[in-house]
Amino acid sequence: MGVRHFHEHGRSVLFTSIALLLTIFSATVVYTSFQMKVSLVDALYFSVGMITGAGGNEQVVEHSADGH
């Protein structure tokens, strides 16, 4: 295992990270374009949660603009 081994894997990690960030950004833009009353932070939280499965309670985001 040398520097070349880590360099090859580092490139894959970089491209995968960029693809994930672009996917999250795209989902956030789409979500905010359909839900105008949702803040950008709530839309970002919802998008990350839906894409990664790490979201907690999505109903909080869905009803945040309603005042519930």
Residue-wise pLDDT for 35-62, tens only, equals 888 888 888 888 888 888 876 555 655 6
> Under a CB-based contact definition with an 8 Å cutoff, are residues 23 and 29 in contact?
no
C-alpha to C-alpha distance for 6 and 52, rounded to whole angstroms? 25
Mean pLDDT value of segment 7-33: 90
Give the per-residue pLDDT at 8: 78
Question: How many helices and strands, by DSSP H and E, does the chain display?
Answer: 3, 0
What is the number of other CB atoms lying within 10 angstroms of the CB of residue 49? 15
Q: Provide the pLDDT for residue 41.
A: 87
